[in-house]
Chain A
Amino acid sequence: MKRYSAFAIAREAMRQHTGWDRAWAKREPKMKYDVIIVGAGGHGLATAYYLGKNFGITNVAILEKGWLGGGNTGRNTTIIRSNYLQDPSAAIYEKARSLYETMSQDLNYNVMFSPRGVIMLAQTQHEIRGYQRTAQANALQGVKTEWIGPQRVKELCPIMNIDGPRYPVLGGLYQERGGTARHDAVAWGYARACSDMGMDVIQKCEVTGVRQENGKVVGVDTSKGPIDCDKLGMVVAGHASVLAQKAGFRLPIESVALQALVSEPIKPCMDVVVMANTVHGYMSQSDKGEMVIGGGTDGFNNYTQRGSFHHIEETVRALVETFPMISRLKMLRQWGGIVDVTGDRSPILSKTPVEGVFVNCGWGTGGFKAIPGSGWAMAELMAKGQSPLTDEFSMYRFREGKFIDESVAAGVAH
């Protein structure tokens, strides 16, 4: 792999950019791999990357039914933060956030991590108490967040109207090192690094069956024929239940549509990410100048990657009260992704009833921020059979009543 650098740009500029290599190799599947990962979204790719980097396991294929990063990884609003309430969440989300800090250097791929700060607005008394509690919990967990008053919110984000008639801004939970990153670059950066370690990233290869012998996985059936493997990682987000069903078990997951939209590009006006959970909307400004807006999920099971229009209307209507200046903006594009929601709004990183099959799903509306930490933990779980970061996220926690309740921290979809 040729390294990307300022020198490389200068060199290529001298020769009409004829010397750039493909970022990652397009391959056809081999007969057998040590590990197969299903799903080339961020979580699947990061799992493969850390299997290679941390455990030297490189006979790995990542099978993707569509295209690289074409699932939720390429559809999200890229908010990164780790201000969750429960200890197991703080551990894995903060691991992820801290890995984002150095991801561009680690991968030699510019993922444009921008720790511009994230404010979660408190607009009700209930939220004030909830976020103050989270700030205290975060202090104990070693996650740097703080409770800030309305004036400080206004200083950080002057375009906000903090005296809104319905939901005035009463303060906020502020994480200074939260922010955003370029989602496609995260997928491509990992794919390039995996490919460089000799792994195969295979697109248009749908897994249609999980082959087992005596309760142990031996391979998968795919649209490109059967492929053998010793271990299988299912990392398919919204399709987790569909794939689990093929392997013969059920998950505590429901798949619903989550939407986002962007406005026409405007001059820089907002250099933090703001989330307003009570009114169900959040916003940041992209480097291109578009206001990136996300809202809530539809209530019903859905696999169409389209959402209901009234959610877009509700989201924008709610945000206009807090950000009056967006009332005249034209919205350019809207899209949806199918997110995998669990009962306690926490993910599943777990062994399964089938030996050798591991599942990573349930990140729901908020897993982009977790990609590197999740990959790190999942790789350890798959390589060693156990990881301190995944212990609490077993798929059996529901039976045992050991929920990791993040319905407040994840109150809004993000």
Chain B
Amino acid sequence: MLILHCPYCGVDADETDLHAGGQAHLKREGPGSSDEDFEDYLFLRANPKGVHFERWRHVYGCGKWFHAARCTATLQVFGTYPAQTLEPPQDIKDKIADARPGWSWGDKE
């Protein structure tokens, strides 16, 4: 069972208490954006085999959305962090770079 630490209420929550919300850090498009931009925002996904930044909701807990850095090939969790940010915190980036030589935040896709 996947266990993720909720950064808000501090609970180590089982997968069954959580709801997965897909890729995190998407750029939200609005009026004036092109069809391509909207396609990108609404449908196109990195879907990497490797480190994935994703949204989770602690549905059967505090109810809040948070972010997780997790590897889709090994299920290793590098850390979780609050959703009010445009990129993951430095300590999580460092942890991933240590575990995956050559990885850097820019090429998260």
Name A's B-contacting residues (CB within 8 A): 239, 241-242, 245, 250-255, 298-304, 308-310, 343, 398-400
Contact = CB atoms under 8 A, between A and B. Distances in A.
A256 to B, nearest CB: 9
B44 A252 contact: yes
A241 B47 contact: yes
Interface string B41-64: 011111111001010000000000
Contacts of A302: 72, 75
Given A310-B15, A310-B16, A398-B42, A301 B1 contact: no
Given A300-B54, A309-B1, A398 B43 contact: yes
Nearest to B22: A254
A299 B1 contact: no
Nearest to A299: B20
Contacts of B38: 399
14 contacts: A241-B48, A242-B48, A250-B45, A254-B22, A254-B45, A254-B47, A299-B19, A300-B20, A300-B54, A301-B23, A301-B48, A304-B75, A308-B1, A310-B16
Contacts of B2: 300, 308
B74 interface: yes
Contacts of A245: 46, 48, 109
A251 B15 CA distance: 27
Contacts of B45: 241, 250-254
A292 B20 CA distance: 28
A239 B2 CA distance: 22
Contacts of A303: 49, 72-73
B103 to A, nearest CB: 15
Contacts of B75: 302, 304
Contacts of B19: 299
Contacts of B12: none
B94 interface: no
A310 B36 CA distance: 38
A252 B38 CA distance: 12
Nearest to B38: A399
- Most chain B beta carbons < 10 A, residue from A242, A252, A301, A343: A301
Interface string B82-107: 00000000000000000000000000
Contacts of B43: 252, 343, 398-399
**For this complex, into which size category does the number of interface residues on chain B fall?**
20 to 34
B48 to A, nearest CB: 7
Contacts of A398: 39, 42-44
Nearest to B50: A303
The 4 closest A-B CB pairs, nearest first, are: A241-B47, A252-B43, A299-B20, A300-B20
Contacts of A242: 47-49
A152 B5 CA distance: 50
A254 B52 CA distance: 12
Given A304-B74, A398-B42, A253 B47 contact: yes
A254 B36 CA distance: 19
A399 B35 contact: yes
Contacts of A301: 20, 22-23, 47-48, 52, 54, 72
Given A245-B109, A252-B39, A304-B73, 12 more contacts: A242-B47, A242-B49, A250-B109, A300-B2, A300-B20, A301-B52, A301-B54, A302-B72, A304-B72, A309-B1, A398-B43, A399-B38
A295 to B, nearest CB: 14
Contacts of B23: 301
Contacts of B15: 308, 310
Contacts of A399: 35-36, 38-39, 43
Contact of B46 (A241, A300, A304, A308): A241
B41 to A, nearest CB: 11
B73 to A, nearest CB: 5
